[in-house]
Structure 1
Amino acid sequence: MSEYLIYFNQQWVGDHSEDWFRGRGPLAKAVVDEMKDAGVYVFAGGLEEDGPVYSADPTSGTVMITDGPFVETKEFLGGFAVVEVADEEAAKLWAGKLAEACGWPQEVRRFGPGPQ
């Protein structure tokens, strides 16, 4: 079994009405519940768009903690799920279900081996 990250950048969401988003919430929750029932769910969550962001930078020899993202970018992570599945095909299946429920694209990446 391998763990996969399924994620989206906030900019992929697009502009939608509050009613549209309210309608998507139960659909996304249903997919998460399905993941749990299937035994593949590890973790999932959306990130606060306007919440605090901090960066930790050790490159000066001392770790500096600062407010804000380390790199100014137009795209930032909006939310993600981690699943533990048998193979890439299963990970893509869950990404497709999440994409359909949320109404925006998702990317899939496999985690590398953990520390020994």
Structure 2
Amino acid sequence: MTQYLIFFNQQWVGDHPAEWFAERGPLARAAVEEMREAGVLVFAGGLEEDPAEGFSADATSGELTFSTGPYRQTPEFVGGMTIVDVPGEDEARYWGGRVAEACGWPQEVRPFKG
């Protein structure tokens, strides 16, 4: 089995009315439940939309430091992720597509190094 990360950048979501997002929630929860029932779900969750809600840890100077907000200000940041443990790429494609359809925005799917 191989674990795959299915994720999206918050900027890929696009601008939609609140009603549109309300309709997507049940679809996304159903996709996650389908993964759970299939026994492939490792983790699924969205992140706080404001990167300043997080913090960064940096040891590149030889001393560990923590700072508020993202490590680097970038135009894109991860909005949510799902990890599945599946036999191969075909199954990863299925679940990545399932999440993309349920959420209504693109997903990137990448295997973890073995």
* TM-score with structure 2 setting the length: 0.96
For the aligned residue pairs, the C-alpha RMSD in angstroms reads 0.8
| Counterpart Cα distance in 1 of 2:86 and 2:44 | 15
Structure 2: state its 5+ residue gaps. none
Structure 1: state its 5+ residue gaps. none
Listed as ranges, the matches of 1:1-116 within 5 Å are 1-50=1-50, 52-113=53-114
Cα deviation, 1:23-49, whole Å, max 9, x if unaligned, reads 000000000000011110000000011
* TM-score with structure 1 setting the length: 0.95
Number of aligned residue pairs: 113
The CA deviation at 1:85 is 0.2
Give aligned-pair identity as a percent: 59
The CA deviation at 1:68 is 1.2
